[in-house]
Amino acid sequence: MRLFASLAATAILFGACGGTAAAPSPTPAPSTPAPTPTPSPTPQTKFTFVTDLKSANEVPPVSNAEAVCSGKGTFTLNTTKDASGTITAATGSFEITVTGCPANTPIILWHVHKAAAGVAGGVVVPGKTDAANPLVLASGATTSPFTTANVTVDPAVAKDIIAGPSGFYINVHSTSNPGGVIRGQLNAG
């Protein structure tokens, strides 16, 4: 009976306050954090290719006194790409080291040709193009690499070199071997 009297008193008191029982506030749905957007990867724009330059790689192989020449070549492509990743512009740089040649060997040209190993191909990227101004190897070797920087490269050629570097080669030419004294196919570096 006491319980009934307590309930009745609570009801009268609540009614006297003029209120009704408030509905419980809705429980908010648990929030799911927004996913963090994955940043787009920065597209690669610089590509480096290396090669061992050998007189035996020439077509035909060098058989005169300069057959002892060898070297290393690095060709670097710097590309500009649009939003879709298509190459829109490119430049190339060469770093060539020639060693083992007879003293006073004059180096007249170097460039990138397009052709597979064992096949002669056309020039697609000029390097040193002034044959009338040879670089003479007084001791038969260089102490620092020969360089050519920022040569304009056709975007389609740049794309092809990146896709299949072994189909291209660096060729270095001398006065005694104007068709090429040392050569090597490109490899991704």
Residue 35's pLDDT band, with cuts at 50, 70 and 90, is confident
Percent above pLDDT 70 for the chain: 79
Average pLDDT of span 78-99: 96
Nearest to 112 by CA among 150, 161, 69, 159: 161
Cβ-based neighbours of 117, under 8 Å, separated by 6 or more: 57, 166, 169, 185
**Torsion angle of alpha carbons 64, 65, 70, 71, nearest 10°?**
-110
- For 7, 8, 21, 22, 23, the CA distances from 18, given in Å and listed in that order, are 17, 16, 10, 12, 15
Inform me whether the pLDDT recorded for 3 exceeds 70: no
Q: Which CATH architecture has domain 46-188?
A: Sandwich (2.60)
pLDDT of residue 18: 53
Question: Residues 177, 107: contact at Cβ < 8 Å?
Answer: no
Average pLDDT, the chain: 86
d(CA 86, CA 49): 20
Cβ-based neighbours of 174, under 8 Å, separated by 6 or more: 66, 69, 101, 105, 106, 107, 108, 134, 181
pLDDT of residue 22: 53
Percent above pLDDT 90 for the chain: 71
pLDDT of residue 142: 66
* Predicted TM-score (pTM) of this structure: 0.78
pLDDT of residue 8: 47
d(CA 62, CA 168): 19
DSSP strand pairing (87-99 vs 70-81): antiparallel
Beta bridge partners of 107: 135, 174
